[in-house]
Structure 1
Amino acid sequence: MTAAGFAPEWLTLRERADAEARAADLLVPLRESLPKSRLVIRDLGCGTGSMGRWLTGHLDGPQHWVLHDRDPRLLELAGATVTGDDVTVELRHGDLAALRGPDLHGTSLVTASALLDVLTPAEVRALAAACVEARCPALLTLTVVGRVELDPVEPLDARFEAAFNRHQRRHLLGPDAVPVAVDAFEALGAGVLTRPSPWRLGPGPLAEEWLRGWVGAACEQDPDLLPEESGYLRRRTGDVRVVVHHADLLAMPGESA
């Protein structure tokens, strides 16, 4: 993920697609696992607050959201827009990797969106350990799984996909994040549910911005693709239809099969 991947403009552009993609059926077992009292929800890497804006309306009763992010600009945007009846907000600026079990004391739910794939294996294991120690469910959505479908299909698609996935894996988990997270939670006795949560994009600004970032990262990883870059983008821009596959994960400590 480049710095542009965390820009407010990109996060705003993708918000509707994120909301449409999230696996809403995971909310049924989630709601059953939550206390009936006031909820304390920690949103890790909250960005501009899209998870909070989506989830507040799907949960009942009073909610206190603790929004965590490394970027103070994004925190301010999130804090001003995660609102609702009986919803309060608290902002926390700092490194998510430093969170441990005692930090989650009193937390009803941990959430994150598009976060797992930009973590390291050690950071995912630490997050799982913190949630399990605090006996806190975790709803972790929109993790890339390394597969895209473009229409119409071109022979170069597979080369760009493979190079992009290698780029993601250079320092972070990228498309390996979901199985690593599942293993981490299950090793600690948590029950884990996963569901597909694909973006389905027609021609438009989001598809074109995604395509430029996807192709750019692939070419950075595999310079042999550079001679193909401009022609590929020219053919795709304005007429791209794409399914970008993601997965959502719900982990519930103490509920393993």
Structure 2
Amino acid sequence: MTVEETLPFADWLRLREPADAAARAEELLDAVRPRLTGTTPTVIHDLGSGTGSMSRWLATRLPGPQHWVLHDRDADLLARAAEGMTGVVAADGAPVTVGTRCGDLTRLSAADLAEASLVTASALLDMLTAEEIERVVAACVGRPTLFAVSVTGRVRLTPGDPLDAAVEAAFNDHQRRTVDGRRLLGPDAVAATAAAFARRGVSVRQRPSPWRLGPAQADLAAEWFRGWVGAACAQRADLAGPAEAYARRRLADAAAGRLTVLVEHSDLLAGG
């Protein structure tokens, strides 16, 4: 297997949205919510918005009027995200408005986020480099920042298989690959982000936010698995042969409802 994603990216984001919503650590939201009550609208900047999963999830859990500013480098995804917020209201029925900004979020400055009451992101950090995380963190300091559903590199499939550990290790190495001169942090990103905030004197809380995929999420489990194995084989060509039979077994188990998958993630709240 060599294909890392079999679905178009927007379709993949749509497929994973329910699992992301179920995984996010509500405890961190409880910690930040009291900071966002006041007489003026809450302004929330969401970085790497994709199709708007984070804004749809969070807007309905916060009270009072809100204005969301969605950031992404993909104009088509931003348009989908904004459209997906149509009709969304706050937890108490207050209005929610949306604006979009298309561009490189790793080039944002503190001035770009000066109006923010809260900065958020979901499933973003592993796609950044150490230098990019330093810039993002520097821009976010001074306001609560909630980064959700960041991969940690740990996966558990049940029933187990002898090839699981080798595929996991190769996938994690692939996540740390260099792309166009950018060395991605992959599963090391959460620790790097926490350390970057700590160096600036900002307190950080972390909580687990795992995907728990069973028979009810068989479509997502199968699609995730294809990408996971495909990335591992792209990283280690010697896995391609053994992975063919391995993938057939695992996908058959998923289709029959016999496979459960735990994909570990971490949520991080800085300054809340």
Check 1:19–1:187 CA distance in 2 against 1; reply closer, same or farther (3 A cut): same
Higher RCO, 1 vs 2 (CA within 8 Å, ≥6 residues apart): 2
2:97 counterpart of 1:94: no
Residue of 134, 137, 158 corresponding to 2:144? 137
Output one character per residue of 1:45-101: Cα deviation in whole Å (capped at 9) or x when no partner.
Answer: 101101011001111100000011111111111101123241000011111111011
Distance in 2 between residues matched to 1:45 and 1:248, nearest whole Å: 16
Give the deviation of 1:33 after TM superposition: 2.4
After superposing the two structures, state which structure 1 stretch, 112-121 or 235-244, moved more. 235-244
Distance 1:153 1:124, change over 3 A: same
Q: Does 1:184 align with 2:196?
A: yes
**Tell me, which stretches of 5 or more residues in structure 2 are unaligned?**
178-182, 254-258
How far is the alpha carbon of 1:35 from its aligned partner?
4.6
- Of residues 214, 220, 237, the one that matches 1:202 is 214
Counterpart residue type for residue 231 of structure 1: A
- 1:49, 1:81 within 8 Å by CA — same for their partners in 2? yes
Give the conservation status (yes or no) of the 8 Å contact 2:37–2:63.
no
Query: Which residue does the alignment assign to 2:250?
Result: 236
Q: 1:63 aligns with which of 58, 63, 66?
A: 66
Residues 102-251 of structure 1 mapped to structure 2, 5 A cutoff = 102-132=111-141, 135-170=142-177, 171-203=183-215, 204-239=218-253, 240-251=259-270
Partner residue in 1 for 2:180:
none
**4+ residue segments displaced more than 6 Å:** 2-6
**CA shift at 1:230, angstroms?**
1.3
1:4-43 aligned at under 5 Å gives the runs: 7-36=9-38, 37-43=40-46
Contact residue 5 and residue 226 of structure 2 kept, 8 A:
no
Distance 1:24 1:6 in 2: 29
- Secondary structure (helix, strand or coil) at the match of 2:101 reads strand
Distance in 2 (alpha carbons) for counterparts of 1:53 and 1:104: 20
Identity %: 55
TM-score (structure 1 length as normaliser): 0.94
Q: Which moved more, 1:243-252 or 1:233-242?
A: 233-242
Could you say what secondary structure the match of 2:267 adopts?
strand
Describe the SS at the equivalent of 1:237: helix
1:87-137 deviation per Cα after TM superposition (whole angstroms, max 9, x unaligned)? 0000111111110111111111110000001000111111111111xx111
Q: What amino acid sits opposite 1:157 in the alignment?
A: D
